[in-house]
Structures are given as structure tokens and as C-alpha cells.
């Protein structure tokens, strides 16, 4: 028996030099959710960002400036308040905070959430 509407299982394994963080939604009342484990990162200003199941580690990533350009090109798809908040947040990020998440992947998460 659960006393919460939503239960999330966070898993952390330190493997050699690479951190492996995964999350799984165990239970979420009145909401559809996936039952698999997904990689996630904690990004300053954005919080916890869960990556999609088709996650593939990228050897080369784009710079934060590419993410900001992509945000500007999608400005019409976002509410003004969200757009301004994302501008501030993205301008404070560094490439190391994004880890293996590409700018396209992160922007698709933002658009899925707010548009």
C-alpha cells in the first residue's frame, strides 16, 4: 500500500569513470506512464531531465550556443514566460552540465513539455 500519488525509483551506479543514473516511475495515480528505466541527468536551472528510451551516447556534442539558437528558432512555439526563463537558464549552462544530451534532444524535451 502506498501513501503517495506518485512513486519514483532513482538508481545510481558508479561504473568506472562514468556515472549511471536511471529512473523508473513505479506508480503514478491517474496518469499514464512508462514502466521502464530511463537515464537522467540533473541540470542546473532545469532540474532532473529524463532521457528518452532511444538514448545513445554521443561522442561529440554541440555547444550551448547551438541550443540557444535552436531556442530562438522555436520561440513562437513557447509561451513568452517559458521562453524567457529558458533563455536565462540556457545562457548559464556549460557543456559539461549537458553531458551526453544533445541540444536537439534537450530542445525536444522542452517543446514536448511546454508547447
Q: Indicate the domain borders of the chain.
A: 6-114
Nearest to 41 by CA among 102, 100, 88: 100
What's the pLDDT score for residue 13?
Answer: 80
Helices 80-91, 64-73: inter-axial angle, 10-degree rounding: 170
What's the pLDDT score for residue 46?
Answer: 86
| Tens-digit pLDDT profile for residues 2-45 | 688 889 898 888 766 566 888 988 888 887 777 788 888 888 88
| Tens-digit pLDDT profile for residues 54-84 | 545 443 445 688 888 899 999 999 999 999 9
Cell 557543456 found at: 95
Could you give the 3-state DSSP secondary structure of residue 96? helix
What's the pLDDT score for residue 101?
Answer: 80
Amino acid at each position: 500500500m502506498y501513501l503517495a500519488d506518485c512513486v519514483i525509483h532513482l538508481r545510481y551506479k558508479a561504473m568506472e569513470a562514468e556515472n549511471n543514473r536511471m529512473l523508473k516511475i513505479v506508480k503514478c495515480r491517474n496518469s499514464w506512464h512508462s514502466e521502464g528505466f530511463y537515464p537522467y541527468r540533473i541540470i542546473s536551472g532545469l532540474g532532473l531531465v529524463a532521457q528518452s528510451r532511444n538514448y545513445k551516447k554521443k561522442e561529440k556534442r554541440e555547444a550551448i550556443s547551438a541550443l540557444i539558437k535552436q531556442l530562438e528558432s522555436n520561440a513562437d512555439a513557447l509561451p513568452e514566460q517559458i521562453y524567457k526563463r529558458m533563455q536565462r537558464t540556457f545562457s548559464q549552462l556549460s557543456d559539461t552540465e549537458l553531458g551526453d544530451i544533445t541540444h536537439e534532444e534537450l530542445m525536444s524535451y522542452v517543446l514536448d513539455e511546454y508547447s
